[in-house]
Amino acid sequence: MNESLKILFPIFFPIVMGLLLLCGQTPKRGRTMTLYTGCVLIITALSVLGLVTGPEVSFTLFYLTGRLPVYFHLDSMGKIFAAVVSVVWVLAGFFSFEYMKKGKEQKRFFGFYLMVYGILMALDFAGNLITFYIFYEMMTLLSMPLVLHERTKEAIMAGLKYLFYSFCGAYMVLFGLYFVYRYANTLTFTAKGVLDMTLVEGKEGLLLVAAFFMLLGFSVKAGMFPMHGWLPTAHPVAPAPASAALSGIIVKSGVLGIIRVAYYIFGADFLKGTWVQITLITLSLVTVFMGSMLAYLEKGLKKRLAYSTVSQVSYILFGLFLFDQTAMTGSVLHVVFHAFIKCCLFLCAGAIIYQTGKHNVDELRGIGKQMPVTMWCYTICSLALIGIPPASGFISKWYLCIGALHTKMPVISWLGPVILLVSALLTAGYLLPITINGFFPGADYDYAALEKKEPAKQMVIPILILAGLALILGIAPELLMNGFSAIAGQLI
């Protein structure tokens, strides 16, 4: 196969296989369907592995107009996101084989699950802004059925809310795209930006407005205040594997959009020191604190984790908007760490709900005695999310704080680390009590009625792998750190 054509396989193979599953050309239920889906996931992931470990490749699919090709290019940033997506998508997919046995319309779930995987690969492989935008919109449309899968009134309303917020954000991006097209040399992603400064001269104010709308638009998917409302509504109603994918991966598509616009279209130098930077940093810090506080007050397990995602993803945005090499390194590290950690936490929540039917935090007293393996994995990932060494979250948050101090920005350079610290304390406050009450239910707990409810191996193994990654990447962060720092240095 032509080297350039290889980039198309992990995009279109899962999309076509998902369509076949939806159209009824493959087995509808049982082991054969899960075998089919598992094979598609593994084959796609292996093809992605071959691409991310190889040289950069490019391919132009076709031209919309003379200046607007649908163009794919796998660069270093795209490789990071593609690898993370593949790990999470495969593990959450294998977890869902057992989890969805109690659910309805398995065929529909797995069909859309495969198609969204292909769309996410297209998003990560997009080589220019127009290609990214096309597949960004497609991702919204194809991931919405995962949100409203249960087809309850609550799920349908959550799906519509997800769609409404996503389209609002996409239209803000489209508004800015028109101006970028007019004042840029190209829409191809290029390190440090593509603006034609001879055309931009005298129009800086207009371009800053365009940049603000584009960055705010992509931040909708990332769950940043004030456009975060869809996230705590959509995540709890979706099946647990879909919640894990939404929280671990779909929100990162907004993060990737922000990286592409800020660092590959406008360039850090154009935005640094402007009102756009200050406003977005402020919004990200508000979101970090607000999300943590709402999670602390929330009693529903999955909704608590959803509010946690609102907070944690804005850690990433805060680092990106600082336009500092160290902070950006921390942000990209947190993209990876948060994806594995939060996917594991949502799968743990799904396993608890699947085995016990309990949805609220107050009902989980003694759950550690019933499901010790699941709860140990939950605890490891909770420590990682809080940022307690040697778990992985400590490294990324350390880099974010050091990067903020390094910028020497008035107020923000010290206020940012303070808010991150307060958020970490709140994170401990809403995650660790579940562990404490789960393993130490007290003397009045009815130990005689204790019943082991550990889920099947198909559910436990993905949870163990994700918890292991959350720990190993904290013990040996150099596996990622040096490469990420080099990428950040090329963009700042």
Phi-psi region of 225 (alpha: psi -120 to 50; beta: other; left: phi over 0): beta
| Cα–Cα distance measured from residue 295 to residue 303, given in angstroms and rounded to the nearest whole number | 8
Interval 243-265 mean pLDDT? 93
pLDDT above 90 coverage of the chain, percent: 67
pLDDT tens by residue, 118-133: 999 999 999 999 999 9
Pairing of strands 58-65, 68-73: antiparallel
Backbone angles phi, psi at 128, to 5 degrees: -145, 175
Least confident piece of the model among 165-169, 231-235, 283-287, 337-341: 231-235
Domain ranges of the chain: 272-492
* pLDDT of 25: 56
pLDDT at 1 over 70: no
Round to whole Å and give the CA distance between 240 and 94. 12
pTM for this model (two decimals): 0.94
Tokens of residue 179, six digits: 């101006």
Residue 279 pLDDT grade (very low, low, confident, very high; cuts 50, 70, 90): very high
Long-range contacts, stretch 184-189, CB < 8 angstroms, 24+ apart: 184/265, 186/67, 186/128, 187/67, 187/68, 187/128, 187/129, 187/130, 187/265, 188/71, 188/73, 188/127, 188/128, 189/73, 189/75, 189/126, 189/127, 189/128, 189/129, 189/260, 189/264, 189/265
pLDDT given for residue 31 in this prediction:
72
Does position 27 have pLDDT exceeding 60, yes or no? Answer: no
Question: For residue 30, is pLDDT > 90?
Answer: no
Q: What is the arithmetic mean of pLDDT over 151-163?
A: 89
Alpha carbons 345 and 132: distance in angstroms, whole number: 29
Identify the residue with better confidence: 454 or 308: 308
